[in-house]
Amino acid sequence: MNLLKELPPPVLAVLREFRTCEFSTLDKSGTPVTWPVSPWIDVERGQLMITTSIALPEKAYNVRRNGRVALSFSEPKASRLTNPPIVVVQGDAVASKQIYTWSDELAELWPILYWRQPASVMYGSNWLARKLFD
């Protein structure tokens, strides 16, 4: 069942247009830990996706240990939405043990990230950054 297709338009707009949300997982002791993330919604697959750097794997470790997560969409800045609702999503997440440096299914994420965070383009256009991060 794809619940994303059932969402009211204002809620779907928040999931698509907000630049960031707060992503909460549970650490080893069961304490909630929250990070700002830039999620990607794939309505057709019924998924909200979060990526993480190989250098900062704590989100993935926590999800593998305990898949209960929450996403809070509470900051509308730069979303172009007027008086959007605050949206909280709770559910079970999955984090693969496989490390991916590229995924064709996430290829459309990069233009979205560059649109949301225009300054990030400079990292890909700088020869030194490309050499260090490739």
What domains sit in the chain, N to C, each tagged with a CATH number? 3-100 (2.30.110.10)
Whole-model pTM over 0.85: no
Question: pLDDT of 66-113, one tens digit each?
Answer: 999 999 999 999 899 999 999 999 999 999 888 877 777 777 777 777
pLDDT at 77: 92
Residue labelled with tokens 């260090």: 132
In this predicted structure, which of 14-18, 26-30, 35-39, 109-113 has the lowest mean pLDDT? 109-113
Strand duo 21-26 + 40-42: pairing: unpaired
75-112: buried (b, 16+ CB within 10 Å) or exposed (e) per residue?
ebeebeeeebeebebeeebebeeeeeeeeeeeeebeeb
